[in-house]
Chain A
């Protein structure tokens, strides 16, 4: 049976806020204007030093065209996500992006083991986002990328960038050395709350030390990709049960590219475990699901495709229509095109919330 071709939805009628766009350096040299000679030399001679057995590639090689849309490689060379003109024509203009939130995963120092190089990369990537992207394309907005293992540096960098309206959130790696609720990360949360910036958590390709599953390393990318969900779960459970939101009542977290349909079941699971074990965590004053409701937002990509599309809005009802942030993941292979990826009915109000208004409210966008 042929399913009718998806038709262009009215998504185009409203500008969308895309909460997950990946800008990429053509090469490490793109960052050199923003670092000292000492570190340029370090970058050339030693390069990144991370916790896996291969450098310059992934130990779970991606499927489609190195994990990118195969049609997103710039004609003039360079990796996908490195050419602003192509990003405009293929994505920003084509699907009507009003605001695009940059998530600069590449070379941001989040996984770098050399602690000084990590801070240099972080600072350089933030300068690079500011000057090479936001200054040239006003629809794009930056995220302060910081190496979460060095909380002292993170605090300084966050306070510095928070004065710049180009930066709308803070990006740290959910493949941290320890679960993100642990107290070593609290200075980052304090700075985020003080500056009024949400924290965006996006799965990282590289480990912070632990295998991606609790029974060791998967074999296939198919498994590694699934662990994006379960990895994120460990972090949000940690943040809640450590009492992060008791300590930082105004902290806001955006979960990006980690799925959202698992969240209702996770809330039930956390609440049930909390009921049974609350004597272990007396610092929690509320049920875990209440912290989720008040402190977390969820980016939509990759959109689930249940056999019965009507199951998806049921899940969204449980989460709240006000908590979803539309995202495409441009230029990655599992890009969600806003014109085609929603396969269920929405009211106009729901559509506006999902595509635009929730993100505007969370990030304080005009």
Chain B
């Protein structure tokens, strides 16, 4: 791993094909780098809910249902399920999936940003900018 100012080269893009991930230590922090359908994303390896090693969780899709008894898995490979309590996070944004569109009890401001089916949760996993420069994965920190 080479370091240049606050930019960290963490490996060759070729070594991280779509659907794979890599856990790296950068500036004392554990960070998971993910290739989701060819795009690279990085998330802190700590679940904002219960402190779990989020980036070691299952990379999967989103279970949705049109009606009780009907099941569909959509957006495969775009979500991360924490290995502790199973909370789901969108890898691209670090945004937790589950939270009410609105509650009568004011708790968290929830707003819809990513498509009709995706609802923002109260927690966002810390994410970092990832760039591909001459086939290397670069992490801005």
Direct A/B contact, Cβ within 8 angstroms: yes
CB pair B50 A341 closer than 8 Å: yes
- Cα A307 to Cα B83 with chains together (Å): 23
The number of chain A residues with a CB under 8 A from chain B is: 21
If over half of A's interface residues share one DSSP class (helix, strand or loop), that class is named, otherwise mixed; here it is loop
CB pair B86 A63 closer than 8 Å: yes
User: Given A64-B86, A340-B51, A307 and B107 touching (CB < 8 A)?
Assistant: yes
A2: which of B50, B58, B123 is its contact (CB, 8 Å)? Answer: B123
CB pair B84 A5 closer than 8 Å: no
Least CB separation from A341: chain B residue: B50
Residues from chain A with a CB closer than 8 A to the CB of B51 are: 6, 337, 339-340
**CB of A308 within 8 Å of the partner chain:** yes
Which of A308, A335, A339, A341 has the most chain B CB within a 10 Å cutoff? A335
A7 to chain B, nearest CB (A): 10
What does the 1/0 interface line of A317-355 toward B look like (CB < 8 Å)?
000000000000000011111011100000000000000
CB pair B122 A64 closer than 8 Å: no
**CB of B56 within 8 Å of the partner chain:** yes
Residues from chain A with a CB closer than 8 A to the CB of B46 are: 5
Which of B46, B58, B105, B123 has the most chain A CB within a 10 Å cutoff? B123
Residues from chain A with a CB closer than 8 A to the CB of B103 are: 307
- Cα A335 to Cα B86 with chains together (Å): 11
- Cα A181 to Cα B124 with chains together (Å): 47
B85: which of A1, A308, A334 is its contact (CB, 8 Å)? Answer: A334
- Cα A307 to Cα B102 with chains together (Å): 13
CB pair B108 A333 closer than 8 Å: no
A5 to chain B, nearest CB (A): 5
- Say which one of A17-25, A65-73, A112-120, A163-171 lies at the interface with B: A65-73
CB pair B108 A3 closer than 8 Å: yes
User: Given A2-B124, A70-B58, A71-B52, A307 and B84 touching (CB < 8 A)?
Assistant: no
B77 to chain A, nearest CB (A): 17
Residues from chain A with a CB closer than 8 A to the CB of B81 are: 64
Least CB separation from A5: chain B residue: B48
The number of chain B residues with a CB under 8 A from chain A is: 24
Within 8 A of A (CB), among B25-53: 46, 48-53
User: Given A71-B53, A308-B107, A341-B50, A1 and B86 touching (CB < 8 A)?
Assistant: no
**CB of B140 within 8 Å of the partner chain:** no
- Cα A69 to Cα B51 with chains together (Å): 12
B79 to chain A, nearest CB (A): 14
CB pair A3 B85 closer than 8 Å: no
B100 to chain A, nearest CB (A): 10
- Cα A63 to Cα B46 with chains together (Å): 21
Least CB separation from A64: chain B residue: B86
Residues from chain A with a CB closer than 8 A to the CB of B123 are: 2-3
A129 to chain B, nearest CB (A): 26
Residues from chain B with a CB closer than 8 A to the CB of A65 are: 83
Within 8 A of B (CB), among A60-89: 63-65, 69-71
Within 8 A of A (CB), among B49-63: 49-53, 56-58
Least CB separation from A72: chain B residue: B83
- Cα A41 to Cα B48 with chains together (Å): 49
CB pair B58 A1 closer than 8 Å: no
- Cα A336 to Cα B56 with chains together (Å): 17
B27 to chain A, nearest CB (A): 16
Residues from chain B with a CB closer than 8 A to the CB of A341 are: 50
CB pair B122 A1 closer than 8 Å: yes
Least CB separation from A302: chain B residue: B85
User: Given A1-B108, A64-B83, A336 and B122 touching (CB < 8 A)?
Assistant: no
Least CB separation from B53: chain A residue: A71
Which of A69, A337, A339 has the most chain B CB within a 10 Å cutoff? A69
What does the 1/0 interface line of A1-44 toward B look like (CB < 8 Å)?
11101100000000000000000000000000000000000000
Enumerate 23 A-B pairs (CB-CB under 8 Å) in ascending A order.
A1-B108, A2-B123, A2-B124, A3-B48, A3-B122, A5-B46, A5-B48, A69-B84, A70-B58, A70-B84, A71-B56, A71-B83, A307-B107, A308-B105, A333-B84, A333-B86, A334-B84, A334-B85, A335-B50, A335-B84, A337-B51, A337-B52, A339-B51
Known A64-B81, A64-B85, A337-B51; further 14 A-B contacts with Cβ < 8 A = A2-B123, A3-B122, A5-B46, A5-B48, A5-B126, A64-B86, A70-B57, A71-B56, A71-B83, A307-B107, A333-B86, A337-B50, A337-B84, A340-B51
Spell out B's residues near A (CB within 8 Å): 46, 48-53, 56-58, 81, 83-86, 103, 105, 107-109, 122-124, 126
Spell out A's residues near B (CB within 8 Å): 1-3, 5-6, 63-65, 69-71, 307-308, 333-337, 339-341
Closest 3 interchain pairs by CB?
A70-B83, A340-B51, A307-B107
